[in-house]
Chain A
Amino acid sequence: AQSVSQHNHHVILSEAASLELGCNYSYGGTVNLFWYVQYPGQHLQLLLKYFSGDPLVKGIKGFEAEFIKSKFSFNLRKPSVQWSDTAEYFCAVNAGGYQKVTFGTGTKLQVIP
């Protein structure tokens, strides 16, 4: 069965700091990978996704993620965070097709002005 681990549960950064949130998954086959974000009081929304091709994926609001197959990782990065990036971030994996999407437990990011 597929699983997702997000090792950082709570991250606090100052504005302009660089961000990297870890995501590791376990599944032996081809996977689709996602990062979702939940801003305070709002619904979850897709930040970016990887299906195939270039392992460096760019998403909305300056976020990017790199798929490293050998490490089973899909870490989320942003070079300079803003206060408005304060949110909870979820990594998710799907084995493709009609398989379920498995979400990680989430990382709460707090950006201090």
Chain B
Amino acid sequence: DSGVTQTPKHLITATGQRVTLRCSPRSGDLSVYWYQQSLDQGLQFLIQYYNGEERAKGNILERFSAQQFPDLHSELNLSSLELGDSALYFCASSVDGDSSYEQYFGPGTRLTVT
């Protein structure tokens, strides 16, 4: 157990819908990262938040957005869902905003878009 929690574990929804994925970092970690893992693309970095502020952005679509709240949990919002958005979404946390620090990964949320 890494100490990072993600809910829900599984999510099945239809195209065009909107979903919210939630992540709670390890106690004391200030930074949260979101990744998308699909069969053909591997593990893709989406976005990083540090202490409530966006720190780095990766290959995140405009239909996707994220935020980190004062209690440091984070949410990833996916809207206008398409079949291709089906993937495992991982959250990771680290103690600092410097991504040289070890990242601790959550168990992931498996999203299926039908």
- By a beta-carbon cutoff of 8 Å, the part of chain A in contact with chain B is 32, 36, 42-46, 49, 51, 90, 94, 96-106
Contact = CB atoms under 8 A, between A and B. Distances in A.
Nearest to B94: A101
Given A43-B107, A44-B90, A45-B105, A103 B100 contact: no
Nearest to B59: A100
Interface in B31-59: 33, 35, 41-45, 48, 55-56, 58
Contacts of B44: 103
Interface in B91-105: 92, 97-100, 102-105
Contacts, number: 56
Interface of B: 2, 4, 33, 35, 41-45, 48, 55-56, 58, 90, 92, 97-100, 102-108
A102 B102 contact: no
A101 B99 contact: yes
B45 A101 contact: yes
A94 B100 contact: yes
Report the 5 A-B pairs with minimum CB-CB distance, sorted nearest first. Answer: A105-B42, A103-B43, A44-B105, A43-B105, A100-B56
A102 B56 contact: no
A102 B45 CA distance: 7
A100 B99 contact: yes
A90 B105 CA distance: 13
A103 B103 CA distance: 12
